[in-house]
Amino acid sequence: MADEIIIQTQGLVKNYGSVHAVVGLNLAIRKGEVFGLLGPNGAGKTTTTLMLLGLTAPTAGTAQIAGLDCVRNPVEIKKIAGYLPDNVGFYSDMTGRENLRFTGRLNGLGGQELETRIDGLLARVNMTEAADRKAGTYSRGMKQRLGIADVLLKDPQIVIMDEPTLGIDPEGIRELMALIRELSEKDGRTILISSHQLYQVQQICDRVGIFVRGHLIACGRIEDLGKQLQSDQSYVLELGVRPDTPELKTFLESFPGVVQARFENSLYTLQTNGDIHTELTRALLDKHFDVYHLHQRGGDLDEIYRRYFEKAGEQNGSQHESTEQAVEKKHRRV
C-alpha cells in the first residue's frame, strides 16, 4: 500500500501562447506521502496543481489521480482531492461556519452529519471561537486555517496546497506544519505542497521535486538530493577568520584539499575535495588565527535549491536563449 502511486503525470505540457509554463512533467507521488513541489515564482507550480485538479486543460500529456484521468473526470477527482489555493478567500459577509456549510452542501453533505463534521474540523484547526464571526474580519492566518478546515470537509484522500505558508507569522507556520504532518501521519492522506519557502517545507516533506521554468530538474528525498550534489561537485566551506592578513589567503590556498579560495562578504569560501574542516580549523588555530565562523554548505535545501538552479540555468542557457530567460537570469544575480 505504501508504494501505491496515487498521482501520476506523463509528459504533461502546458503552454500559454508562446510561454511554456510546464514542459514535459513526469511525476509520480505515492499514497500517504508528503510531497513538496518547490520552485521560484512563475516556475509552473500552480499551473501543475491546476492541471492535476482538471481546472486547466493540459496542452499535451496526461495526469491521473487514483487512476482517474484529470481531464475527463474532473468532478470525480475533486471528490477525492481537496485544493487549498494560495490567497484562499471566503465570502466576507458570511461567517466562517456558514462558509464551511456552503462548501459542505456543494459536496452533497447536509443535516446533522455536516454540522458535526464542521464542529470537529473547527476544533481541529483551532477556529471554534472565531467560527461565528464574519469571514471578512479574519486575519490571513485565520483564513488559512479555515481554508484547511474547508479542504478537509470533503474528507479528501489527497490534499493539494498552494503556498500554504505565505503571509503567516512564524508561530502560525509552526502550527500549520504540525497540522499538515498530522494529516499525513494520523489520517494517512497524501499531501502535495507547492511552495517557494524552502525551510518550512523541508521540515515536513518526505520527498521534494524542484521545479524551474516548467522543468522538474530534481526529484527525491532531501538527503538524497544533497548527496547527489556533493558527489558531482566538491564540498564548499564557509570560513570566517581573524585577523585577515595576506598570509591567511596564501595559507588557505596552499592547504591540502583546497581547490579554490575566494574572499567575499568578509568570509572565505573554500571549494574543497573532501570534508577537511577539522584539519583546517586545527591548523588555523596552530597558526594563531581566530576562527569565528564555520559553515559546511550543502545538504540543506537552500543549498540544493541554489545549486540546482545554477545547473538548470547553465543547461537551458546553452540550449536556447530567450529574452525571458535572460531577464530571469539577471534577476537571480541581483
Partner 1 sequence: MEASTSLPSKPSRKSTGAYSSGMAALYQKEMSDHINSPRFLIAFILLLVASAASIYGAVSSLASAAGSADSASSISSDYLFLSLFTTSGSSIPSFASFLAFLGPLVGIVLGFDAVSRERSQGTLNRLVSQPIHRDSVINGKFLAGVSVIFLLVFSLGFFVCGFGIIYIGIAPTWEEIIRILAFLLLTVIYASFWLGLAIYFSTVCRHAATAALACIAIWIFVSFFLSMIAGAIASAVYPLTGYGQLYNQLSNYNLTLWLERVSPYYLFCEAISTILNPNVRSLGITSMNAYSGAVASYLSVDQSLLLIWPHVVCMLALTLLFFVLSYVSFMRQEIRAN
Q: Which of 34, 44, 162, 173 binds partner 1 (CB under 8 A)?
A: 162
Among residue numbers 68 through 87, which ones bind partner 1 (CB under 8 A)?
Answer: 75-76, 78-80, 82-83, 85-87
Residues 6+ apart with CB under 8 A from 19: 324
Evaluate whether 213 touches 325 at the Cβ level (below 8 Å): yes
Partners of 264 in the β-ladder: 267
Per-residue x/- mask for partner 1, residues 120 to 159, rule CB under 8 A?
---------------------------x--x---xx-x--
Q: Which of 55, 71, 177, 204 binds partner 1 (CB under 8 A)?
A: 55
Closer to partner 1 by CB, 103 or 230: give it: 103
Stretch that binds partner 1, among 104-112, 232-240, 252-260, 265-273 (CB under 8 A): 104-112
Closer to partner 1 by CB, 67 or 246: give it: 67
**Radius of gyration of the CA atoms of the chain, in A:** 24
67 binds partner 1 (CB under 8 A): no
* # residues contacting partner 1 (CB under 8 A): 36
Closer to partner 1 by CB, 186 or 320: give it: 186
Q: Which of 11, 19, 72, 91 binds partner 1 (CB under 8 A)?
A: 91
Stretch that binds partner 1, among 102-110, 205-213, 217-225, 231-239 (CB under 8 A): 102-110
Comparing CA positions, the residue from 208, 210, 212, 175 lying closest to residue 191 is 208
What angle, rounded to 10 degrees, do the helices at 323-333 and 301-319 form?
150
Q: Is the peptide bond before 243 cis (omega within 30 degrees of 0)?
A: yes
Among residue numbers 205 through 244, which ones bind partner 1 (CB under 8 A)?
Answer: none
Comparing CA positions, the residue from 184, 182, 179, 116 lying closest to residue 153 is 116
Closer to partner 1 by CB, 31 or 227: give it: 31
Closer to partner 1 by CB, 25 or 161: give it: 161
Minimal distance in Å, beta carbon 75 to partner 1? Answer: 5
Q: Which of 30, 33, 42, 102 binds partner 1 (CB under 8 A)?
A: 102
Which residues in this chain contact partner 1 in the complex, by CB under 8 A?
46, 50, 53, 55-56, 75-76, 78-80, 82-83, 85-93, 102-103, 105-108, 147, 150, 154-155, 157, 162, 187-189
